[in-house]
Structure 1
C-alpha cells in the first residue's frame, strides 16, 4: 500500500477517484465479477426448468395452467421483492442483501429438488423468485458504483453472463440425459443450481466489499475510506469533520423518497428504463425461455435435438450479450434498444407469417437472429439504464421498482406463451407478441435521454428532484429545472 494517503472530503472525491481508474482491476474487479456471478446464478436458477420443462410436465402430469403458474411464479414473486431488495440495499448497504439472496436461492433449489408434490415445488420457486428480485436490483447498483464513468456501457456485460448461464443449463441437461435419468432430469438441473448457488454464496460472503459511493452518500466517510483502501490497495483517509463537504439532498424517509423517480427530470428516464425492461422481459420470457419447446416444434425431434437446437440459439445470445457493451458505447443505450426492438419485431413477424413454410436453414437462422438482436440491444439495457440514471440513494430503489415492472413483463411472458400457444397456435402467438417490441421501439426513439451521452454523474447532478424533509437540500436552494423554482 502506498505511503501517501488520499484524503476524502466527500462523495465527490470518491466518485472522482473511481472515474480516474483506467479500468476495473484488482479487488474492484473481484467485486465486479462477483456481482456478475450473482446475476449468473439468477439466470441459472430461472432457466433451470427450461430445458427439462417437457419431461417435468410428463413426470408430474401437469396441466397447461399448472405449467404456466410454475414457470411464471418466480417472476411474480420478484415483482414484490425487487423494490424490497432495493429498499434493503439503500438502507443497509449492498453486501448483506446480496448474500441473503444467495441463501434464499440455495434453499429454494433444495426444496424443489426434494419436492414430492407440486405444492412444495411452488414454495421452492417462491424462494427463488425472492432471491432473484432482491439480487438483481442490488447487483446492478454495485456494478454501476464500481464502474468508471467512461466504461458505463460495460454494465451490459451481464447480458452475456445470462446466456452463458442458460447455455450451461442446456449442456448440463444433455449430460444428465446421457445418464438415462428419464423424466426426472429436471431435478438434476435444479440440483446443479443449488451447487452453483452455494459456491457463489461463499465467495460473495468472503470477498465482497461495501460500496464506497453508498457509504459516502450516507456520510460514513471513515467507512468509505476503509472500503476504498481494501478495494484499491492504497491508503485513504477521511478529512477532518470541519473540512468535509456535506451531502446535500440526502434521503431521510426511505421508500417515500423512491417515488422521486416519477418526478421532474427523472420521469422520462424512468419511463424509458421501464419500457425497455418490461418489453424485453415479455419478448424474452415468452419466446427465449421456451426455446427448447419452440426448437422441438421446429425440428420435430426428441429431447437431444430440441435441446441442441435451443443451445445453438442461445449461443447467439452469448455473442450478442458480450457485444452489447460495444454496441451501447457506439450507439448509446437508448438507440441500441430502439434498433434492437425494431429488429426483434421483424424476426417475430417472420416467425409468425412464415414459420410453417421456412426451409430448415431459415428455421435455425431466424430464432438465432431473434436472440442476437435481443441480447445485443434491449436485453441488457433496461437494467443498465435504471442503474446509471439515478443517484446512489435512489439507485437500488429505482432498480427495484423498474425491476418489478420488468418482472411483471417476465411473468406475463411466461404465463401467456403456453396459454396462447395452446389456444391460437405457435404462429399466431408470434404475431401477437410482435406488437410488444414495435411499441417499445417507438418509445425508445421518442425519449431523448441516455446516461452514456452525458458528462454529469447522477450523484453530482444539480437540479434533480429533492428528497422529502431534507433540510440540507432546502438550504441549498437547488433549482428544479422542470418547474423553474426550488424543488418541493
Structure 2
C-alpha cells in the first residue's frame, strides 16, 4: 500500500493511527448510547459504520478518501468495543468471569485469517492493489456479522430491568434460556433507583471512592497493552520482513507464525486468569513482554534464526495470555451494570489513545532511531504497567463482593428489580 499510494512514513503513521484517534471520542459516545438506547442498536450502528468505512477505503481514489474511510472505521471500533464486552459480561455467569478473555483468542484468529487471505489474494497476481482486496474482505465479514446480529442479537435483560421494562426483560430471558419467564406482578416490584439517568455525574463515579483504584488498574492495563501491541504487534509484517527479507510471502508467513502464538495465548488467557487472577496475570504478562522487548532491542539482528523467530512469538504469547485480554475484562467486571458501559467507554478511550500513540510513534521512531532503539524505548511501557499492576490489589475475579451488589452503596442494590421464572 505504501508503494501503491507513494506514502511517506508520516502519512503511514497518520493513516494507521487515525481510526484509534477517532475511537477516543466514540468510545464514551458508545457507552452513552448503550446506557440510553440499550445494547443492540449501537452494535448494529457500529457494524454499518464499519462496512461504510471498509468500502470507502477499498475504492478510495486518493489518500484523503482513505483517511475518510478510516474515520468511519474508528467510529465503529469505538462504539462496538465500548458495548460488546458489557453485553458479554451481562450474559456470563459470575463463576465464569475469566471466560470473557476468550475474545483475545478470537482477535488473533481474525488477524491470522487476514494474513491467510492476503497470501491468497497475492496468488491472484493483483500486485500493489493487494491492500484493496484485504480491506474489501473486511467489508464482506462486516456485512455477514451485521446480518447475524440482526437475526440473533438479544437485548440485555439487565439493561431492560434497570429501565423498568420488566416485560421486555422477561421476553429477552425467555429467548436466551429457552424457558418461560414473566415479569413479577406490579404489587411485588421494588422501586428502581437508576443512577444511569445522572449522565456525566454517573460516569464521574468511576473516578471516586472504591472505584478509583479499579479505574487506574483497568486504564493502566488497557493503555499499556494498546501501546505495546499497536506499536509492535501491529507492525509484525514489517518486523518479519526485517528478519526474513523483503519478499512478501516470506514476511507474511513469518507474521502468521508469530500471530498463531496469539491464538494460543488468547485461548489460554481464561485459564491463566482463573489461576492467577486478572491483575497478577497482567502484571506478570507485562513483565515478560518487557523482557522480550529488551532482548529485541539489545540483540535484534545478532540472534540465530531460531531466536529471531522465538522472541517475537513469545512477545505475542505473553501479551495475549496476560494484559492483551485483561484490559477490557477488568473494566467490564469492576463496575455495576449501570456504570459498566460508561466505564468501558471512558477506559476504552484511554486505551484508544494508547493504540493511537503506538501506531503513530512506531514508524516515526523506527525512521528516526532505528528498529532496535525503538524496541528499547517502548520497553518502558510494559515495565511501568507491570509495577502499577503489582501495586494495586483489586481483582474482580478474587473479590468476594459482586460489583452489582456493593455493600457500601445500597442505592445501587441489584435486587431492586425482580423478574421471576414461571414454567
Q: Per the shorter chain, which TM-score range?
A: over 0.9
> What does residue 385 of structure 1 align with?
330
- SS of the residue 2:197 aligns to: coil
State the TM-score, normalized to the length of structure 2.
0.96
Counterpart of 1:287 (choices 229, 232, 235) is: 232
| CA drift at 1:464 | 4.0
> What does residue 86 of structure 2 align with?
141
The answer to whether residue 192 in structure 2 is matched with residue 247 in structure 1 is yes
Matches within 5 A, 1:396-435: 396-435=341-380
| CA drift at 1:282 | 0.1
Give distance in 1, aligned partners of 2:164 and 2:405: 15
Give distance in 1, aligned partners of 2:348 and 2:196: 21
Counterpart of 1:89 (choices 9, 34, 44) is: 34
RMSD of the TM alignment (CA)? 1.4
The answer to whether residue 371 in structure 2 is matched with residue 456 in structure 1 is no
Counterpart of 1:313 (choices 244, 258, 265) is: 258
> What does residue 226 of structure 1 align with?
171
Matches within 5 A, 1:251-262: 251-262=196-207
Structure 1: gaps (5+ residues):
1-55, 477-488
> What does residue 245 of structure 2 align with?
300
| CA drift at 1:164 | 0.4
| CA drift at 1:249 | 5.3
CA contact (8 A) 1:153 1:328 kept: yes
Give distance in 1, aligned partners of 2:186 and 2:400: 29
> What does residue 53 of structure 1 align with?
none
Give distance in 2, aligned partners of 1:242 and 1:137: 36
Question: What are the Cα deviations for residues 322-367 of structure 1, in whole angstroms up to 9, with x where unaligned?
Answer: 0000000000000000000000000000000011210010000000
Matches within 5 A, 1:312-331: 312-331=257-276
Aligned length: 415
CA contact (8 A) 1:264 1:464 kept: no
CA contact (8 A) 2:82 2:345 kept: yes
CA contact (8 A) 2:163 2:194 kept: no
Give distance in 2, aligned partners of 1:249 and 1:209: 22
Give distance in 2, aligned partners of 1:294 and 1:166: 16
State the TM-score, normalized to the length of structure 1.
0.83
CA contact (8 A) 1:217 1:250 kept: no
Give distance in 1, aligned partners of 2:409 and 2:250: 54
- SS of the residue 1:133 aligns to: helix
Counterpart of 2:49 (choices 96, 104, 109) is: 104
| CA drift at 1:465 | 9.6
Give distance in 1, aligned partners of 2:47 and 2:141: 10
